[in-house]
A = this chain, B = another copy of it.
Amino acid sequence: MMPIEQNISRAISAEALQAYQENGYLLLPHCFSPAEIDVLSAELPVILAEDTPRRIPEINQVSVRSVYGSHTSNAVFRCLTRHPRLVEPAMDFLGSEVYVYQFKVNAKVAFDGDVWNWHQDYVFWLKEDGLPSPRIINAVVFLSEVNEFNAPLMVIPRSHKEGVIDVPAYNGTVSGNDKSSADRSAWISNLTAKLKYALDRNTVTRLAKQYGIQALKGPAGSVLFFDSNLVHASANNLSPFDRNVILITFNSVENIPVAAGRRRPDFLVSRDHSSILPVTDDAMLSFVGCKPNSGAASH
């Protein structure tokens, strides 16, 4: 799909790698075909309807905000986490083999989809999971067209170069090791519109004045890679258009979390650290015509 250079075996070009390193993100339109996106989208109704602790509601308690960890039970999503168009660039960006640290469907539904306040991702994984370094990357697959009306991801380009911008957590709670409901309430706020490590407003204002803001829009099938220290946010979705994306976080196999004493659930911080062996490029198409969530194929 992307040009391979003569001397270096990479899925992405030197120019794309440089752009990523400079801006902290790379947006690739038309990465997946409409047929592939249809395969993925067909799984959504079942995934969103499933009553599980991995499903996080919006604060209004009506709509689904996110569903985590579906790749462990759903064959189509498992296939996506191993797709070469995601895994190979991730390996290039991180310079090593990778594994899936976290998987989620973010359903910013029409009318109800709520905000994600300005934040960096890595600080959560550093403070909550003991992740040693920001050698971890997000890949966002657009299942819907993302346009100016349905709350595109807003990023501050180059802000990843600031490293971890420390912020006092809005409460002092740290996730414990038990599975009680009190423990759930400790980590769940990080998944709602009330983020524990949201950036302070003066910092966001300073960075936006220095670097500007970009809204990352594109057709369904686009893929966005972004650095775990890139400052980002998204507004509420007041439009009548859903904005569904899948966000897969790939971690370097050389960057395993060290805080063994703490334990967020596996669907937030995977304990399966085995390197991903990519599937074939046409793997997603093997699901065409399959009944959604059948689990028939096993890539």
Asked whether A115 lies within 8 Å of B238 as measured between CB atoms, the reply is: yes
Interface check A255, CB cutoff 8 A: no
Asked whether A208 lies within 8 Å of B240 as measured between CB atoms, the reply is: yes
A235: contacting residue among B209, B213, B238, CB under 8 A: B238
Interface check A279, CB cutoff 8 A: no
Which residue, of A213, A234, A241, has the highest number of chain B Cβ atoms within 10 A? Answer: A213
A236: contacting residue among B111, B236, B241, CB under 8 A: B236
A149: contacting residue among B111, B205, B215, B238, CB under 8 A: B215
* Alpha-carbon separation in the docked complex, A201 to B215 (Å): 26
Copies of this chain in the oligomer: 2
A118-B233 in contact given A110-B205, A148-B215, A149-B154 (Cβ < 8 Å): no
A240-B205 in contact given A148-B148, A154-B149 (Cβ < 8 Å): yes
Interface check A204, CB cutoff 8 A: yes
A238-B148 in contact given A110-B205, A201-B111 (Cβ < 8 Å): no
Bitwise, A92-132 to B at CB < 8 A (1) or not (0) is 00000000000000000011000101100000000000000
User: Whose C-beta in chain B lies nearest to the C-beta of A111?
Assistant: B201
Specify which chain B residues have a CB less than 8 angstroms from the CB of A241 in the assembled complex.
208
* Alpha-carbon separation in the docked complex, A238 to B234 (Å): 7
* Alpha-carbon separation in the docked complex, A234 to B239 (Å): 9
Specify which chain B residues have a CB less than 8 angstroms from the CB of A236 in the assembled complex.
115, 235-236
User: Whose C-beta in chain B lies nearest to the C-beta of A201?
Assistant: B111
User: Whose C-beta in chain B lies nearest to the C-beta of A112?
Assistant: B201
Specify which chain B residues have a CB less than 8 angstroms from the CB of A149 in the assembled complex.
154, 213, 215
Q: Interface of A with B (CB < 8 Å)?
A: 110-111, 115, 117-118, 148-149, 151, 154, 201, 204-205, 208-209, 213, 215, 233-241
